[in-house]
Structure 1
Amino acid sequence: MEERTSESHRMDRRRELGEFLRQRRTRIDPEQWGLVIRKRRRSTGLRREEVADLAGVSTTWYTWLEQGRDINVSEQVLLAVGRVLLLDHHELDYLFTLTGRVAPSDTGLRTELPETVDVVMRQLDPLPAAVYNPRLDILAFNEGYRWLMGMDLYPRPDHNALLLRFTNKDWQARIDPDMDTIATTVANFRAAYAQHVGEPAWKDLIGRLEGIALFDELWARHDVEPRTGLVKKYVHPEAGPLTFDSIPLWISKSSDVRITVYTPADAASKDALHSTVRVG
């Protein structure tokens, strides 16, 4: 009797898992992932095959997961599915619970910013400012940063400075090739990685970058550097060459999340910024 009850509970949980995944899948606009849909669809959201492709799993495997079949799921794959479905940390915990696993303590998706951070970001406009965690996820940004880096061009799930630098041509085109700080950025990332070795969210990001020749070369060096302010040069599609001093400001002594503010390093950059960025 107890065995039948236990099996019934497992079936109920798998059924709930399938319904949860289907519901979350239908709420995702394909354009959030940069997918171009040319024909009108009967149903909203992502298709199963699109979720599978974005998460790096087979369509058959993901279909089985949605159907509630009794299959083995790894922590890393669940995180990938959660990333594609844009799950917040409460929803991610729920996903792990339904699959009978315990969510990792640090998923890379759990940073919740104080409300005062948003106030500070708005007050800094038009100076570009962005909030980063150690993994270089872009957690928030203001209008100045939106203008500088063209943030509307990138799907929200790809808002990671390291990922965009290696994989997105629009992001790459805004960085002055004569003063590219990518080697320093990778060394900063490597230094932060020491406290997160083996964590699935970090492994997922590194896995997405592996196979890119320049990343593989820089990653193999094992260079480490502390994060400091740098002079950054950009090529804006409308304003042309721009130079900024980047200043990292940690939110608190115990926090590893920082606000980086970009201040114009010359008169031309200052004039372009103040004449172009609209605040309010």
Structure 2
Amino acid sequence: MNRRRALADYLRSRRERVTPQDAGILPGPRRRTPGLRREEVAQLSGISVTWYTWLEQAREITVSRQVLHSLARVLLLSPAETRHLFALAEETPAEETTAAPTPGLQRLVDALDPHPAYLVTPTWDLVAWNRAEAGLIGDPAGWAPADRNLLRFTFLAPRARALLADWDAQARALLEQYRAGADRHAGDPRFDSLTRELRAASEEFRTWWGTHDVADFRPARRGFDHPRLGRLSFDYVKLHAADAPDLSLVACLPADDETAGKLPQLRT
């Protein structure tokens, strides 16, 4: 039921985003519905209004790939949004989360020093980091275990707003990646508990969560205003380990010569 509700909410949010003009429909007078009406989505997708209504009511019905492709086309979904729609409709089972990295992964993270690097779970819990990463964001070893989570750090730690240049953009990009995972794992208590906490504690998280926007990870350049070293700029790379597919390795590569020259000082 949790997954069907997530699918229903997602379809509704995407439908309300598409204007009649986007879909090639004359809006006409006395139109009150934001975006497209249910019957318009059904007609354009080649399915019955009743059946589409049941989808948005989280009824227990199955959806074919052909219909999903039609809905993605009508709702103008991006590739990431289309994959998200398929994951919700096909009820992909949640993955088990590894609590600790393998020795080989820990050695890899350490070997990447002086480049900041870390390992995260699907809920963005930090399970390993090197000295450079500790020098960049503060040493997670000194945080309470529950605080070793990049979402909690980004949205709840005051120092994160001073550290992250363009905090709004970085925080929203992180949330959209998390939202994609949370909807695919609908009903998973790990995600549910963290989402409830962040919605209650952060106005920005609560507002952006309501948009239902999702995104895949993309290589990105991110800036930091470090309290000792000033502006640092990194290009982020994310990899998945074959021997621990539920863990992701994130490495930060200096984006300019100035940042590269400051890397040794991150470890002091």
Q: Would the TM-score normalized by the shorter structure come out above 0.5?
A: yes
Equivalent of residue 209 in structure 1, options 198, 201, 221: 198
**What TM-score, normalized by structure 2, do the two folds share?**
0.60
Question: Which amino acid counterpart does residue 238 of structure 1 have in structure 2?
Answer: R
Question: Which amino acid counterpart does residue 220 of structure 1 have in structure 2?
Answer: G
Equivalent of residue 107 in structure 2, options 119, 140, 143: 119
Contact between 1:130 and 1:145, CA under 8 Å: does it hold in 2? yes
Question: Which amino acid counterpart does residue 263 of structure 2 have in structure 1?
Answer: L
Question: Which amino acid counterpart does residue 115 of structure 2 have in structure 1?
Answer: L
1:169 aligns with 2:158: yes
Please, which moves more after superposition, 147-156 or 112-121?
147-156
Contact between 1:108 and 1:135, CA under 8 Å: does it hold in 2? no
Question: Which amino acid counterpart does residue 200 of structure 1 have in structure 2?
Answer: P
**What TM-score, normalized by structure 1, do the two folds share?**
0.58
1:159 aligns with 2:148: yes
Please, which moves more after superposition, 184-193 or 145-154?
145-154
Give the equivalent residue in structure 2 for 1:250. 240
Unaligned ranges ≥5, structure 1: 1-104
Give the equivalent residue in structure 2 for 1:260. 250
1:188 aligns with 2:177: yes
Q: CA deviation at 1:108?
A: 7.4
Equivalent of residue 139 in structure 1, options 127, 134, 137: 127
Rounded to whole Å, the distance in 1 between the matches of 2:102 and 2:252 is: 21
Structure 1 vs Structure 2: percent identity of aligned residues?
23
Question: Which amino acid counterpart does residue 103 of structure 2 have in structure 1?
Answer: E
SS in 2 for 1:257: strand
Unaligned ranges ≥5, structure 2: 1-92
Q: CA deviation at 1:271?
A: 0.9
Q: CA deviation at 1:122?
A: 1.3
Indicate the structure whose relative CO is greater, using CA pairs within 8 Å and at least 6 residues apart. Answer: 2
Contact between 2:135 and 2:267, CA under 8 Å: does it hold in 1? yes
In structure 2, relative to structure 1, the CA distance for the partners of 1:276 and 1:217 (3 Å cut) is closer
Question: What is the aligned length?
Answer: 174
Q: CA deviation at 1:193?
A: 1.3
Give the equivalent residue in structure 2 for 1:128. 116
In structure 2, relative to structure 1, the CA distance for the partners of 1:187 and 1:143 (3 Å cut) is same
Rounded to whole Å, the distance in 2 between the matches of 1:168 and 1:255 is: 29
Give the equivalent residue in structure 1 for 2:267. 277
Give the equivalent residue in structure 1 for 2:79. none
Q: How does 1:218-237 map to 2 (within 5 A)?
A: 218-237=208-227
Q: CA deviation at 1:110?
A: 4.2
| RMSD, aligned CA | 2.3
Q: How does 1:25-44 map to 2 (within 5 A)?
A: none
